[in-house]
Structure formats: C-alpha cells, structure tokens
Amino acid sequence: MKNLMSYFWKNEDGVALAFGITFFLLVFLLGMSVYAAGETVRQRMELQNAADTAVYSAAVVQADTLSRVACINQAMSWTYVMMNRRIMDYITDKWLEKVVRKWDEDLRSVREQWNWQSTCGTRIEGVDYRVGVSMHKMIQLNSQQVNIDEVKMQRQMASAQGKSYQALAGKIEMDRKTLAAMRKAEQSLLDRMPKRIENVVKQSIKENMSETPNDTAAGGAGISHVLLQNDPDTYTETLRNTAEHEKIFLVYGGFQPDVKEISRRGVDRWWIRSGSGEGLRRKYQQGGSLMASWNYNGTKWVYSGESCDPFPKFGFSTVRGSEVQDSYFDCREPAKPFRLKKDFFGQKGSLVVGVKRKLNNPFSFMFSGGNPEGLFSAFTVKDKRSMWAVSAARASYAPPGGSGQKGAYETTFLNVADQETWNLCEADWDAVFIPVAMAYDSGKDRKYQKSGNGPLSEIYSKLSPGSISAPKGMSGSFDVSGARKALVH
C-alpha cells in the first residue's frame, strides 16, 4: 500500500485519482443535498396539504351546521304562521260560540220565558218580540250587520273542517311544542359544532400526516396542530319581537314580508305583538274588535182585573272576545330563530388551522441513535426548528336572487331587500378557502376592511416552532407581522 501511494504521488495518475475522488465526493454531496431538499419539500407539501384539508373539513362542518339551522328556520317560520292562524281561528270561534249562546238566551227570554206563564193564559208564546239591531236576527258584528243564522252556519262549516276551537286547541298545543323543539334543535346544533370541528380537524391531520422511519429514528416528527375558532354564541343572535324582524322571519317560510300573510283581518288590531324581547310572539288585545251587540225586546201580557195589559221588556247585549279569554289567546311559546351577526364574516366566523412538524435530518435513519455524524451532520438544523403551515376557511352561502355566478358562494355579508333575505334561511352553504392574510378582515357587500395582521402571530405563538431568527451564516429573519403581504393564496 505504501508503494502504491508513493506511485500515485510521483506520477500523473495521482492527479487523476485526486480529481476523481473530489468529483465523486461532490456528486455524492450533491445527491445528498438533492435528496435532503426533496424530502423537505415533500414534507412541506404534506404539511400544507394537511392544513388545507383540515381547515376545509372544518368549514364543511360549519357549513353543514348552518345549512341545518337554515332548514329548521324555514320550517319554524311556516309553523309560526300556521299557529297564529289557528289561534286567531280559535279565538274567533270561541267568541262566536258565546255570541250564539247569548243571542239564544235573549231570544228565549223575550219569546218563551217572558210569556211562558201569564195571568192571561198559560203556555202562550210571545209574538211581539225582536232580537237584533235593524231587524230580527240581524246583529252588529264588529263593523257590519250579520244574520245570526249565517253565524251559526259558518261555525258548523268550520267545525266540519276541524276548525272548531275544541279541535284547534290540540293543534295549537302541538305547534307550541314544535317551536320549542325547533329552538332546542338549533341550539344543540350550534353547541355541538365546535367539538365536531375540533374532532374533524384532529382526524384529518391524523389521516394526512404520519411519521416516517427517519422521523422515528430521530426521536419523532413532533407533529402538532392549532385550531382557531370562536364559539357560535359570539356570531349568532336571536330574532327579536319587532315589526322589522317579523317581516324578515316571514320570508324564511316562503311568505312575503308582510304581516297580512298571517291574516288580512285582525293582525295588529286585536292580534298584536307582545313585548320586544327575543323571539316572535303575539297575543290577543280587545280593542274595538271582536265585539258583537244587539237589542232585544218583547211584551208580556198581564191580567189587570179587567183586561190583559201589555208590559214591555227590552235590553241591550254585548259580547266581547275578552269574555272568553283563556291560555290559547296568546302564542305562549315564541318562535326563536337564530341568525348570523355581521361579524361572522370576519374574525368571529373564520376557521384557521396551523400544523407543524420537526425539521429532522433526513439521514437520521442511517445512524444508531438517530444522530448523523461527519458529512451527514451538515443537514442537521440546530435550535430545534420546525416547519409549519397555516390555512383558513369559512362557510359561505349561495348568493340570493342569482346575483352571483353559478357554483360561486358569497364570502361577505350582503345587505339585501327583505324578500331576498338569506340570513339565516338560505340552506345552500359550502366551505370556501379564504386567504390567510385576510382571514380576520370584515367582509360586507363584497368589500373587505382590513382588521389587524390576521391570525399568523397567534398561530405562531401557539405552535412554538422554534426560533424565528435566521441560522448562522444566513441574514434576515421571518417577520410574522409582515407575512400578510405574502400569504394571499
């Protein structure tokens, strides 16, 4: 070996050998570098893909929840209108029942009871009697005169259709229970949504990221994630019992934004909104409506000793709706639909997922203990650094009235006319990626207003991927606050 080395040292073959060794060493280092760079890029792509998949899955859960709430709101609006109509029918029928009963009592008093026993003869039916206003049987019903026989016939027809107040009571009770169940269902959906989002993010990252044998040799990949979301209570509200909110609520059920959709008679006269708190409800108020009146008169003949003399009897009767008032003269159970606040399309409704993994030496698997030595140690990043990725998304809705492109979803809060309201009755929701730099920006009428520096600083502080200063031999460092300009993807 000594002679061989002396030969290469003294002859030109030694130069070729030196160049050969240097060349193959450089090629080997280049190959190592390409492999290391390729593995890092692969892991970086896997990392970003995991963040994208996780946050999109979270937004799908959010969209699914809001879609379900919107569907319930549609049914709640329809139930609210039907319940109001039934209660109004209940009140009217029960009032008319008393009108008929009182009219019959007055009729008997002047026709039969007044003349049943008389000193001028027994069992004589009166002939000079009248129960009515302008003429017999005509009563003053609210602002018009109606024949009592017509009232009786209409009640019989309503009863045949299941609209007697006795039949309506059970249906009204069912409507009340349905409204309460709908509110409970919406509350449950919103309450469970954060946990569902958390679970789907965790599962998505688990399915899309895994440790390699090299990571195992290096002591683990250190995979972790951060989810930023807000509780639904911060971006939802309940409609209040105001004229404006009631009109909007009617649109939820496919009605026009007009209270006459409930009934063209009685609404806002004797069937009025009660209170101004959360939830929509109405109740009965007497006022000048639901009032029937008539006169009655008759003659009783009494023997005076020489002849039968007439003694007149007369009076006036009035029957008001309030006289038969009971627990069904009030909605009792309000309709309490949820809707979104404007700041849902800003930080409150944004979903942000950050994922990190350790930057392990790609050649750790070649060494016992996972600590590369020699040339391989050059690929070890010091300071326990990690690579990290961030992605953001939010549930968005189909634009109202075909104002958007087919398949497009609206990512801002649109102020629209009542009849085109979408909040929260549009059931077509889907997940939409949003630029990380704009994740916290407030969106309204397809314009965005900048809001701080976005979620990057918070994600970074919670992930703690290591120092953000540049390694030795490099200049500059990562500026979290300045990343807004770059992270629009």
State the total domains in the chain. Answer: 1
Residue 212 domain-assigned (yes or no): yes
Residue 210 domain-assigned (yes or no): yes
Mean pLDDT of 17-30: 68
DSSP E strand stretches across 13-143: 130-132, 138-141
**Residue 32 and residue 370: Cα distance in Å, rounded?**
17
Residue 107: what are its φ and ψ, rounded to 5°? Answer: -65, -45
Cβ–Cβ < 8 Å for 379, 36: yes
Mean pLDDT of 442-451: 92
Residue 113 domain-assigned (yes or no): yes
Residue 372 domain-assigned (yes or no): yes
- pLDDT over 80 at 337, yes or no: yes
The tokens of 239 are what? 């409609």
Residue 247 domain-assigned (yes or no): yes
**Residue 139 and residue 295: Cα distance in Å, rounded?**
8
Residue 98 domain-assigned (yes or no): yes
Residue 371: predicted pLDDT: 76
pTM summary value: 0.86
* pLDDT band, residue 488 (cuts 50/70/90): very low
Residue 1 domain-assigned (yes or no): no
Mean pLDDT of 314-325: 95
Domain extent, residue 377, equals: 6-485
- CA dihedral (431, 434, 440, 445) positive or negative: negative
* pLDDT band, residue 2 (cuts 50/70/90): low
Pairing of β 282-284 and β 291-303: unpaired
Q: How many CB atoms lie within 10 A of CB 199?
A: 13
Residue 279 domain-assigned (yes or no): yes
Mapped onto helix, strand or coil, the DSSP state of residue 42 is helix
